[in-house]
Amino acid sequence: MPQPLAGPAYPQLQPPFQMHGVNYNERLLDGFQNQHAERVNQWHNRLRGQEQVEDQAIQQQEGLRLQRQEQQLAEDHIHQDREVQRQEAVRRQVQRQAQHADLQYEEQVCRAQRAAQEELERREDKLADQAHRAARDAVDQGEDLNELVAARNAPRMPRHQRLANKQNIANRRQAQVICQEAQQPYVEPLYCHTLHNMEVECHNCGVLHWDTESLTSSSRIHPKFGVCCLQGQVRLDPFQEAPAALRCLIRGVDITAREFRDKVCSYNNAFAFTSLGVKIDHDVTSAAGLYSFLIHGGLHYSISAFHPPEGETPSFGQLYIHNPQTALFLHNENNRGHGTTPATMLEIQDNLEQFNPFIPL
């Protein structure tokens, strides 16, 4: 930055010198002042020029900084894209490995099936030879002539007919063995059949299955199931936890909870919205032993009108249009003699009115 200029050094003038009415001392002083003003203006102009240069340099530096930031952001985006591509490549590789493992497993299964088929054919040929010999021996002993005739005519028959004759002979022999085994006294087996653990999880909904419930089109490594969620096509919201009062009735150990569990069917029917339309087999449901619910034909639910017929008491969904006191009274009257208690009925009704989303409708 240029240093500020000092003012001009005024000359040491002599006493005023005038000629022809002109004061030369004043003119000389005015000249020095004008020269000093020009020098000050030049200094200010140079200062403004340097400030403009510095501003341009600062703007250039700011532009370079922004450019470097944009370049860094672009490099970060490129790095992220490369990382995503790498992860996608790893996922595809894992998927290819899984498919390769499935193909290997299917190939092993096919080889095992072919080996089993070949072994079955060898056994069939062996059984056919044994049948030929047995038929020949039977003819020698006068037992069965048809088997010998079939054995002698076998070379002249088509292959499928020969195989059919061999299979028929083997079936007859097996039937004889089965009949002999059936005539033996029954012996209780020493082992117990088991279904193993229900521990195979559906990867769509998480439901546990037995291994034999998987679809035939799936592999043992990646089993698929259709009885739970139709391979992910059906998605249901998870069950919500029951209210605390109902949990106490379901899991409690006091007298009220035990009475509720013993009469749970009566309580369920008391607060049902619809009636069950079904033909029940009372010979089975009323028999001794474990309770069995057996029906004939179809099962449906009947939805009645808002108001009952003339002279009949409201029931099922007709009770929910009344106030809580009237509805509770009708619930108790309709279930009189079924073993329900008014206190438990009141507690269930309060919970239903508080948590059931369909009652306000």
- Nearest-angstrom CA–CA distance, 211 and 230: 17
Asked which of 300-309, 328-337, 348-357 is least confident by mean pLDDT, the reply is 300-309
The predicted-structure confidence for 126-153, as pLDDT tens digits, reads as follows: 776 776 676 656 545 544 555 555 555 5
Across the range 26-47, mean pLDDT stands at 76
Beta carbons within 8 Å of 198's beta carbon, 6+ residues apart:
208, 209, 210
Across the range 203-211, mean pLDDT stands at 89
pTM (predicted TM-score) = 0.38
Contact 334, 313 (CB under 8 A): yes
3-state secondary structure of 170: helix
pLDDT of residue 208: 92
3-state secondary structure of 277: strand
pLDDT of residue 5: 47
pLDDT of residue 151: 56
User: Two tokens at 203?
Assistant: 């990867």
- pLDDT beyond 80 at 322: no
CA 199 centroid distance within chain: 17
User: Two tokens at 166?
Assistant: 């061999």
- pLDDT beyond 80 at 269: yes
pLDDT of residue 137: 64
Q: Which residue has the higher pLDDT, 228 or 277?
A: 228
Residue 232 region by backbone torsions, left for phi larger than 0, else alpha for psi between -120 and 50, else beta: left
- pLDDT beyond 70 at 28: no
Closest to 136 (Cα-Cα) out of 119, 115, 150, 124: 150
Element (H, E) at 200: strand 200-201
Residue type, 224: K
Strands 275-280 and 18-19: unpaired
3-state secondary structure of 36: helix
Sketch the domain layout of the chain as residue ranges: 114-182, 196-233, 244-355
